[in-house]
Amino acid sequence: MSVKAASSLHTRAQPDSPTQERVLDRAAELFWTKGYAATTTRQIAASLGIRQASLYHHFASKDDLLGKLCVSSVEELIRCVSSAIRESDCPEARLRILMSAHLDTLLKYQTRHALMLTELRALKGVWRERVLGLRKQYAKLVCGVIEDGQRAGFLRTDVPSKYLTLALLNILNRAVLWFRDDEALAPGQLAALFARVYIEGAASSGARAVMPLPNLRPQPAPRRRKAVRVLHEPVMTRLLDTAAVLFARQSYALTSTREIAAQVGIQKASLYYHIETKEDLLYEICKSAIQQIRADSEAALERASNPLERTAMLIRAHIESLLLAHDRHLAALADMSSLSDRRRAEVAALRDGYEALVRSVLEQGQTSGALRRDVPVKYLCLALLGLLNRVLVWFRPAGPLSPGQIGALFANIYVTGAASVGPTASLPPGRSPGLPPP
């Protein structure tokens, strides 16, 4: 994935006397293109045309560089959005202003925010605590705007503000992975389209779905599988599952085949009976994750009888499949760039094929008149994929909602919309999109 370099709000210094911002910008570029673990401070200094010792005049370590990158990006988001929303007391206007300011700031520091998706796991100690604290502070700010809208009757109250907030941030934040300088829309225009999808709903004004909410009472955490069952699984399955956990937790670059073999309970030499290189594991993890989510989604689509139901069934199947293989998808998100060019192209083609399937479902919805046509299908699709895929970032197996509940809830939010405007059309009697028939 190619992401533009992070922009600086400060004046650039001359190459022989770089400012901290210039160092941060160059570090962000290298961390993104090469990976944090594979990038050295020597390489960063060389790319700036300075000695490594000069780099340490500004930052004590590589960890400090990453920490400052993450902290500065969230601090700027808080500052810009807080300032922007003070321009209006109207709840609807404040929400629209927030979305516009969020996207504008996010894409101004695009690489820095993208790094938090893939490299936050590398932060330790005080830096990690500080970044997580700032992110919680920003989420609280967004949630406050949502709650103001609920109190004013502008936003629906049948969905807790927590989940309306998560849905909004999901839609907005994924833009760091696909937005390009040559994008047809500016950030403000993009925010306006996303506001239509989020606030008014994915269904057209004349064909909104009546959808009962799923039961949102907390569910008991699923039981862990007993060790004896794991041992009876095929060795390759155990290898892939174990490698996915380690890659997701500590990165592909920092995980050794010896560590994977030890976790599985086999000798390192035995591991090479199943694979030739460590990259084989990452390749199979990335490939299998996308193939499985496509198979699960296609199976769900076969059970749907109309365009609205197809959209909602796709959402629920996608989230359940995504979270069932949570570590595999996280590893693929963070480490796909470590694959060889040929294998990365293969995985990208699989991913693009699945996204084309999602887009075709939405196109059919638009053609039938069931889905709104005032938002191009490209952006309906990008909003939906953001809503779905960023669940990976915050989902916890021991959290209050199960994957099935989250899938049904987000199907409701996307199809019905976040606004409190009453829907005017329904599905066939007895059917609710994204929910099993009674």
| Percent of all residues in the chain with a pLDDT value above 70, rounded to a whole number | 85
Last residue of a domain, one of 156, 185, 214: 185
Query: 270 in a domain, yes or no?
Result: yes
Residue 29 has pLDDT above 80, yes or no: yes
Range of the domain at 124: 20-185
Could you tell me the pTM of the whole model? 0.84
Query: 430 in a domain, yes or no?
Result: no
How far are the Cα atoms of 90, 196, 350 from residue 39, in angstroms, in the given order? 47, 41, 29
pLDDT of residue 153: 86
The amino acid at residue 163 is Y
Q: What is the largest CA-CA distance in the chain?
A: 72
Residue 209 has pLDDT above 60, yes or no: no
Residue range 67-107, pLDDT digits in tens: 999 999 999 999 999 999 999 999 999 999 999 999 999 99
pLDDT of residue 1: 42
Q: How far apart are CA 241 and CA 331, in angstroms?
A: 10
Question: Tokens 């709650």 appear where?
Answer: 147
Q: How far apart are CA 126 and CA 242, in angstroms?
A: 29
Supply the DSSP string of 326-366, one letter for each residue. Answer: HHHHHHHHHHGGGS-HHHHHHHHHHHHHHHHHHHHHHHHHH
Q: Are residues 275 and 150 in the same domain?
A: no
290: its two tokens? 């996308």
Residue range 247-296, pLDDT digits in tens: 998 889 889 999 999 999 888 888 888 999 999 999 999 999 999 999 99
Q: Are residues 150 and 238 in the same domain?
A: no
Q: Are residues 389 and 311 in the same domain?
A: yes
Could you tell me how far CA 404 lies from the centroid of its own chain? 18
Q: How many domains does the chain have?
A: 2
SS3 for 155? strand
Q: How far apart are CA 257 and CA 276, in angstroms?
A: 11
Dihedral sign of CA atoms 296, 333, 351, 166 in order: positive
Query: 434 in a domain, yes or no?
Result: no
Q: What is the CATH number of the domain that holds 346?
A: 1.10.357.10
Q: Are residues 244 and 162 in the same domain?
A: no
Q: Are residues 261 and 153 in the same domain?
A: no
Q: Are residues 140 and 240 in the same domain?
A: no
Q: Are residues 163 and 307 in the same domain?
A: no
Average pLDDT over residues 166-176: 94
pLDDT of residue 144: 96
Q: How far apart are CA 406 and CA 337, in angstroms?
A: 29
- Residue count of the chain, please give it: 438
Q: Are residues 159 and 242 in the same domain?
A: no
Q: How far apart are CA 356 and CA 130, in angstroms?
A: 39
* DSSP state letter for 430: T
Q: How far apart are CA 42 and CA 419, in angstroms?
A: 52
Q: Are residues 170 and 238 in the same domain?
A: no
pLDDT of residue 121: 85
Query: 193 in a domain, yes or no?
Result: no
